[in-house]
Copies of this chain bind each other. A is one copy, B any other.
Amino acid sequence: MREFKILEIKQGVFDDNNKQADGLREDLKKRGTFLLNLMSSPGSGKTTTLVKTIRALKETVKIGVMEADIDSDVDAVTIGQEDVKVIQLHTGGMCHLDAEMTRQGLHGLGMDDLDLVILENVGNLVCPAEFDTGSSKNAMILSVPEGDDKPLKYPLMFSIVDVLLINKIDVLPYFDFDVDACIERAKKCNPNIKVILCSARNGEGIEEFADWIKTEVATWKKEQ
């Protein structure tokens, strides 16, 4: 397993998080490092999806992962098995990351040779939607057991993400989840949202997500 650091990150002291986020995004573009901010509720399958996505990408893309959590390092331990660069960020009780916290994380991770850094944000559909981390793109996971009404209840989150992964579709037969209704509600929040149906458990849809990431990383580097 890869060794990893645990970093206690502090909330940004800057009034204007949007300005900090734009600055970070610009710095990342100059380096040619693409930052993907991955958000979801607790337990929607972020870490398992990440593991499968890393396996689909790591031959062609140099990847680093930042695991943000209130406490614990269980996710960094899991990701460390995949032999990619990983750091555990402890938010000290904070329910989200801002751009300055993300910058501290990137500094701790070190990104000299990385094409892609994936930030697994704190499990929360509310606060992370309100803070631009400086990411190149945002993705979210909604899992089938959570219900198809979530775009109605957390519209801001659905409005700020580029990709929505509807995960755990292998258990669709056991839940009352209307895929079409969910997509329609998500598109009402965000007409440009890309939707991928997937199952991190059986691998369905992971290739499509990995391909989307590859294209985005290539475009980011081209614009460098």
| A residues with CB within 8 A of B | 41-44, 69-72, 74-75, 93, 95, 122-127, 130, 143-147, 149-150, 152-156, 168, 171, 174-175
B130 touches A93 (CB 8 A): yes
A70 to chain B, nearest CB (A): 6
A58 to chain B, nearest CB (A): 24
A205 to chain B, nearest CB (A): 17
27 examples of A-B residue contacts, CB within 8 angstroms:
A41-B146, A42-B146, A42-B153, A43-B143, A43-B145, A43-B150, A70-B153, A70-B154, A70-B155, A70-B156, A71-B152, A71-B153, A71-B155, A74-B152, A74-B153, A93-B130, A93-B156, A95-B127, A124-B124, A124-B125, A127-B127, A143-B145, A144-B145, A145-B146, A145-B168, A171-B171, A171-B175
Residues of chain B within 8 A (CB-CB) of A154 are 42, 70, 123
Q: How many copies of this chain?
A: 2
In whole angstroms, what is the CA distance A111 to B144 when docked?
37
Cβ 8 A contact of A126, one of B43, B124, B143: B124
In whole angstroms, what is the CA distance A146 to B64 when docked?
25
A76 to chain B, nearest CB (A): 12
In whole angstroms, what is the CA distance A175 to B171 when docked?
9
A124 touches B153 (CB 8 A): no
Residues of chain B within 8 A (CB-CB) of A93 are 126, 130, 156
In whole angstroms, what is the CA distance A72 to B168 when docked?
25
In whole angstroms, what is the CA distance A156 to B72 when docked?
12
> Which partner residue on chain B sits nearest A173 by CB separation?
B174
Known: A43-B41, A125-B124. A171 touches B153 (CB 8 A): no
B145 touches A72 (CB 8 A): no
In whole angstroms, what is the CA distance A98 to B163 when docked?
33
Cβ 8 A contact of A41, one of B42, B168, B175: B42
A90 to chain B, nearest CB (A): 11
